[in-house]
Amino acid sequence: MASMEADGPQAPYDPWWAVRRRISAAVAAAGVDPEIERLLLVPERVLEVAVPVRMDDGHVEVFSGWRVHHNVARGPAKGGIRFHPALSAGEVTALAADMTLKTAVVDIPFGGGKGGVACEPGRLSISELERLTRRYTVAIASLLGPDQDVPAPDVNTDERVMAWLLDTMDMLQGRSVPGVVTGKPLSVGGMPMHAGATSSGVVRCVRAVFAATGRPLVGARAVVQGFGKVGGPLAFLLQSAGMRVVAVADVAGAVWNPGGLDVSALAEHARSSGSVAGFVGGTPIASTDLWAVEAELVVPAALEGAIDVDAARRMTASVVVEAANGPMTPAADEVLDRRGVVVVPDILANAGGVTASYFEWAQGRQGYAWDEEMVADRLARTMDRAFGAVWARAQALGVSLRDAAGVVAVERIAAAITARGLFP
């Protein structure tokens, strides 16, 4: 396949194109039937809906929303709902495809789905946000259900939004359906540790890749891009594991301290000010300079396409663990691969969240509450088993962890598709 790196101006990042490219590469490397590729390069269903909302001042605003099922051969569609002003059908479709691969890598019985609304939630009042959530839920309700499609939180959504979704579905169906959504509050059937499961899974992968490559973890320097509901807990967990978190960035700025940032104090500053910018315990740096900070580990925990060719060329770290979905462009991936940087891909690294969602879904189906110890133990075992399978495949094939994760996922999806056959 031709190199995607270019020295001139880079085209806008297309996440759906990037995922399709990775699926094709995984199918080729896995050596499965080419018909599997044809099935995986087209989403099974894409629902686009209008979401009219009466605003607090009385006027009606119409937002665009989507729910996409990429492939459900292995089980009900599973994937989050995000509220973001730049959201598009292509991005949602790419994220749904990522979920198809991700659920297969950790070997849980789900397919891939994703959804969201193009809106700026920070500009909505709580009542407007609730009306938007409920109207969006009604619009996509025909796709939802414990055996069809199980949403969860994603960018700019949380357990409160999931509770509104749950209540709306219960009202529509006239009965309690606790398995219809995950990431709910504990008071309505949520799962202990769900909120921090993605971060916990990322740190599990950090430990595993450092051990597998013979790198010392304690004292190693880490850079974290993003300080939200994944990046915030993640920075604390990395520090607790003995690493020095030397730089952190969010949408408003970045701070650096070569001796290590005080993550607890940084979190308190971010809570009070809304950003890591201005933290007195670190030196302000340009967000674009984050990647050039001297470190052993980089963890992108923000949005798609954050690491481009320029960032990849400037990066000093020898390990990247992707906490965000699709944080690296394919061209940047090629640069890091040639430089020998070890990249633990998103479909493995951040799968702790969907794994915890699986546990919550099972809890809802069973009607039996799981305790925190059970969740932590099973999450750790699932992530360790998934990393082991991907690492072994990478060693056997002599390929990157991203390619190996794709092969593991595609082989499992292909097995399900083949076992089912093609209807009619």
CB 154 within 8 A of CB 91: no
Pairing of strands 221-225, 297-300: parallel
Choosing from 78, 114, 184, 229, the catalytic residue is 114
Handedness of CA 270, 272, 273, 277 (dihedral sign): negative
CB 178 within 8 A of CB 187: no
| Residues 411, 396: Cα–Cα separation, whole Å | 15
> What token pair was written down for 222?
């880490």
| Residues 348, 406: Cα–Cα separation, whole Å | 10
> What token pair was written down for 108?
């849980």
- Note if 114 is an active site residue: yes
CB 379 within 8 A of CB 201: yes
Instruction: State the helix-helix crossing angle for 15-30 and 401-420, rounded to 10 degrees.
Output: 80
Active-site amino acid positions: 114
